[in-house]
Amino acid sequence: MTDPLDILAFAAHPDDAEIGCGGSLLLATDQGRRVAVADMSAGEMSTRGNVTLRRQETEAASKLLGLSARLSLGLPDGYIGADPAHRLPIIDIIRATRPRIVLAPFWEDRHPITRLPVSWFVRPVFFAGVGKIGSGRPHRPESVYYYICITRFSPRL
C-alpha cells in the first residue's frame, strides 16, 4: 500500500468491523477517505458459518463499504492475544498502511476475543512508532478510537 490510510479498523473476526463501526467506515469512504479493515483472524472458530462463507461475506461487505483494502493478520481465532508475538503483525500493518486513525474493538465487549485488554492493543499501536521493534519505518497514528461490537450500552459524555 503506497498511500497512507485515513482510517484502519482492526477486527478480531471478519464481520466485527461491519457490525461495530461499519456505518462510520461507510461515511468515511463516502467522504473520499482511504479506509481499510484488518481482520486479526479468519473466524475459523465461528459457531455460525465457516471460513469459506465468512470470506464470501467479507468480500461483499468490503465492496459495499468501498474499502481501499481488506487485510488479514492470520492470527489464530480463539487465541488472539495469548502470545505476545501476536502484537508484531499489528505493528507491521500500522507501519505498512500509516493510518491517521485506528479503530479497535472495545475492551469491555461481551465476546472474549473482541474484549482484549486495552493495554494489549495500546502497546502495539504505541510500539508501531518505536523503531527498535517490528519491521518497516516507524509510524504512530494520531488517534485511536474503540468501537463496541456486541455489548449494549448507553452513550454518555
Q: Note whether residue 155 is domain-resident.
A: no
Measured CA to CA, the distance from residue 100 to residue 77 in angstroms comes to 27
Residue 24, domain CATH: 3.40.50.10320
Q: Note whether residue 153 is domain-resident.
A: no
Q: Note whether residue 157 is domain-resident.
A: no
What is the arithmetic mean of pLDDT over 137-154?
85
pLDDT of residue 151: 65
Residue 36 Cα distances to 10, 26, 41, 78, angstroms: 9, 11, 15, 23
pLDDT of residue 119: 62
Contacts of 27 (CB under 8 A, 6+ apart): none
Measured CA to CA, the distance from residue 62 to residue 27 in angstroms comes to 14
Tally of domains in the chain = 1
pTM of structure: 0.89
Q: Note whether residue 1 is domain-resident.
A: no
Domain of residue 28, residue span: 7-147
Q: Note whether residue 156 is domain-resident.
A: no
What is the arithmetic mean of pLDDT over 54-76?
95
Confidence of residue 49 (pLDDT cuts 50, 70, 90): confident
pLDDT of residue 4: 96
Residue 55 Cα distances to 5, 131, 151, angstroms: 23, 34, 24
% pLDDT > 90, the chain:
56
Q: Note whether residue 2 is domain-resident.
A: no
Q: Note whether residue 154 is domain-resident.
A: no
Q: Which helix (H) or strand (E) holds 90?
A: helix 87-97
Confidence of residue 83 (pLDDT cuts 50, 70, 90): confident
More confident residue, 85 or 27: 27
Q: Note whether residue 152 is domain-resident.
A: no
